[in-house]
Amino acid sequence: MLEVYSTSEWFFFALFIAGVVTLAVTLYIEYRMMQQRVFAEIAEELGLRFSYLSFGLPQRLGFLYQLDRGRSRVATNIISGVYKGFQVYVFDYRYVTGNKQDARKHYCSIAMLRHGQRLPEVRVYPPAHLEKFERIARFDRIEYHPPHEDFQKNFTVLTDNRDFAEKFLHPAMIEYLLRHPDMAVEAGGNWLCTTTAGGLVPEEVPRRLDQLIKILRIIPAPDSSFAELQARAEGAENIPSGF
């Protein structure tokens, strides 16, 4: 039998729903504010700057493929400055692909280091990252297959210089990347970049930055200037070998 609720019962039910929604929104806002405070504290401890939101950063750094795909690009939780002698950025990044009917939002976290030396382009992607990219832009690169079966199963390598890619993926680099199977690496121009799926964890910021320095140390030096740069990286504070 269909029950009939009085006007007052509907009023209190609607009031309860409104209260639940208000509580959920309030808790979410408080969580975001608390997260921002933690990021700001981490940045201060590292001698870096924190800013919450930037639409311009992906455009300024769009020469990296990681930041040159999709639309509605925005960076959040941005930590930047000079870390152990190198200009760095680490931030959350989101963008949209597809049209209005099948739009898809993508989320990842990116760490970048500017070393100031020109390098050929090498991009190393695990399968999950490659599927998201859908070969939509600047994929007119050579697909290099290093002679390492496990590595070929776990990564795709794209490059504009096969000889450098072969040198770049020496045994120590391959071993390091296999220890981080969910991480994409992009080297080219005078930047080094790593990308992982999901949001940035505040406590992981130092590790993400130290990873960049670790990778920089083991890139094969194309000339004496880069070798001098690596010597400076070796002089940075010791980094745990597990990074």
Q: Is residue 96, in this structure, part of any structural domain at all? A: yes
Q: Is residue 14, in this structure, part of any structural domain at all? A: yes
More confident position, 3 or 103: 103
Q: What is the pLDDT of residue 136?
A: 46
Q: Are 86 and 122 contained in the same domain?
A: yes
The yes-or-no verdict on residue 3 having pLDDT over 90 is no
Instruction: Enter the tokens of residue 70.
Output: 């999709």
Q: Are 191 and 107 contained in the same domain?
A: yes
Give the pairing of strands 142-144 and 156-159: antiparallel
Instruction: Answer whether 0.85 is exceeded by the pTM.
Output: no
pLDDT-derived band at 155 (thresholds 50, 70, 90) equals very high
Instruction: Enter the tokens of residue 186.
Output: 């992009």
Q: Is residue 29, in this structure, part of any structural domain at all? A: yes
Q: Are 52 and 114 contained in the same domain?
A: yes
What angle is formed at CA 118 by the lines to CA 212 and CA 120, rounded to 5 degrees? 85
Q: Are 33 and 108 contained in the same domain?
A: no
Q: Is residue 186, in this structure, part of any structural domain at all? A: yes
The yes-or-no verdict on residue 139 having pLDDT over 60 is no
Q: Are 27 and 105 contained in the same domain?
A: no
The yes-or-no verdict on residue 225 having pLDDT over 70 is yes
- Number of domains making up the chain: 2
Q: Confirm if 65 and 89 have CB atoms less than 8 A apart.
A: no
The yes-or-no verdict on residue 211 having pLDDT over 70 is yes
Domain that holds residue 67: 48-234
Residues with Cβ within 8 Å of 162's Cβ and at least 6 positions away in sequence, in order, are 142, 144
Q: What is the pLDDT of residue 226?
A: 75
Q: Is residue 242, in this structure, part of any structural domain at all? A: no
Q: Are 112 and 23 contained in the same domain?
A: no
